[in-house]
Amino acid sequence: MFRTADMRAARGLETWRRLIGESRACDVSAERADTFRASVRSLRMGRVTLLRSSFSGVRIANGPALARPEDPGMYHLTLVLKGGLALTRGSEPTQTFRPGDLHVLDDSVSVELGTYDSRNVPAHERSVEAIGLDLPMSLLPWSPEQLAPVQGRGFSADDGVGAILGEFLLSVDRRAASLGPAEAARLSTAAVGLVAAWLAPRVEAAAEPPQEARLRQLMESIRAFIERHLHDPGLTPAVVAEAHHISLSYLHRVFGRQSNGATVAAWIRAQRLERARLDLEDPALRSLPVHAVAARWGIPRPSDFSRAFRAAHGVSPQEHRMRRLNGTDAPQDRSGAA
């Protein structure tokens, strides 16, 4: 644990610069040494290091010119918790990272990172709190060239694996004082696995041809829109197409190509039936009438629901509920839907 509050300002800046330099080849400068404030708490996890840091009014320059021959190649993953960071790379537009954003860099990328605030706050008063991981490049299955398209880009940690990774970092940081060296080292495997799982789809997307990447992103948006509106009986392929500003024929073409020929209407129906099936099997919802379960998922006509459910599962919704809640298996799903 290090805090500049425990020492004189000039010595605090120099000590913080040295501590940061232990894990990365960089040049650190402060807007004002006399008002500089920072703290660092680190946890060694085998070959991985967890860092919880806060700092004010600094600029950090990375790049191959600063690299030391004896240094192992390192990736630096950062989750911004408070404040903001601005990343400048050559003539590219400045990237800004706000609370909840994750980004990754390595020492070979020439960038400048600085504290950022969208308000009119003097540079030396801007402050950031972040948590991150320093891990050797050899622990991840990609080369720096493969990771180049995603380095220095901000990604939200609000959902998916990003949210799990963010919660993991915060949880380990909260419990760092109670972890022994052996326990901390064992956690490094989980940390590296989560980072790899978070990066994998981003690396794959970056490697796709631009047209394929756009189609995949459109498909993800379409599926997310459908899942958000399953409760609406008025959800139809035409509504989905209009929400995405594309023609109905283009929607069918893209969806069929990205879903092995499945139609939009069939996918909507399958998702509704699956959500209803899960509700029927939920003991907490056993008092909810079957027709109300169907209506929750956009199927207002009980006869339509019963017919579709029987076609998919071989029994009526009521019989399926009774079998599952009584602990007996229902017949094999005959729908063939994934």
Q: What is the mean pLDDT of the chain?
A: 87
Which DSSP category does 327 fall into?
A: T
For residues 187 and 87, state if they share a domain: yes
Domain boundary among the residues 147, 173, 207 is at 207
For residues 8 and 88, state if they share a domain: yes
For residues 203 and 238, state if they share a domain: no
**CATH code assigned at 245:** 1.10.10.60
What backbone phi and psi angles, to 5 degrees, belong to 80?
-75, 130
The amino acid that residue 306 corresponds to is S
Q: To which residue do tokens 């958000």 refer?
A: 228
| Cα–Cα distance, 21 to 15 (Å, whole number) | 10
Cα 297 to chain center, whole Å? 28
Per the structure block, which two tokens stand in for 79? 């989750």
What tens digit of pLDDT does each residue of 188-220 get? 999 999 999 999 988 987 776 667 778 888 898
Size of the chain, expressed as the number of residues it contains: 338
Which DSSP category does 169 fall into?
A: H
Per the structure block, which two tokens stand in for 71? 């240094």
| Cα–Cα distance, 47 to 49 (Å, whole number) | 7
Burial of 119 (0-12, 13-18, 19+ CB in 10 A): exposed
What tens digit of pLDDT does each residue of 252-292 get? 998 988 887 889 999 999 999 999 999 999 999 999 999 99
What backbone phi and psi angles, to 5 degrees, belong to 246?
-130, 160
| Cα–Cα distance, 138 to 201 (Å, whole number) | 19
Check: CB of residue 96 under 8 Å from CB of residue 40. Answer: no
Identify the band that residue 17 occupies on the pLDDT scale cut at 50, 70 and 90: confident
- Return the exposure string of 24-54: e unless at least 16 CB atoms fall within 10 Å of the residue's CB, then b: bbbebebbebeebbbbbbbbebbebbbbbbb
| Cα–Cα distance, 12 to 334 (Å, whole number) | 69
Domain count, the chain: 2
What per-residue confidence (pLDDT) applies to 101? Answer: 95
For residues 123 and 44, state if they share a domain: yes
| Cα–Cα distance, 56 to 198 (Å, whole number) | 29
Q: What is the mean pLDDT of residues 43-59?
A: 91
Domain boundary among the residues 185, 207, 229 is at 207
84-88: strand order across its sheet: 26-30, 58-62, 111-116, 84-88, 95-97
Give a yes or no: residue 336 inside a domain: no
For residues 199 and 220, state if they share a domain: no
For residues 29 and 95, state if they share a domain: yes
Closest CA to 249 of 228, 263, 230, 269: 263
Structural domain of 85: 2-207
**CATH code assigned at 114:** 2.60.120.10
Domain boundary among the residues 152, 172, 207 is at 207
For residues 187 and 243, state if they share a domain: no
Q: To which residue do tokens 């899960």 refer?
A: 278
Give a yes or no: residue 335 inside a domain: no
Q: What is the mean pLDDT of residues 136-154?
A: 90
For residues 201 and 216, state if they share a domain: no
How much of the chain exceeds pLDDT 90, in percent?
A: 56
What per-residue confidence (pLDDT) applies to 48? Answer: 94
DSSP state string for 59-106: EEEE-GGG--TTSPPEEEEEEEEESEEEEE-TTSPPEEE-TTEEEEEE
What tens digit of pLDDT does each residue of 91-100 get? 888 999 999 9
Check: CB of residue 83 under 8 Å from CB of residue 127. Answer: yes
| Cα–Cα distance, 4 to 58 (Å, whole number) | 14
Q: Of 226-230, 273-277, 333-337, which range is least confident?
A: 333-337
Give a yes or no: residue 153 inside a domain: yes
Packed helices 210-228 and 181-207: angle between N→C axes, nearest 10 degrees: 110
Residues 6+ apart with CB under 8 A from 88: 94, 111, 112, 114
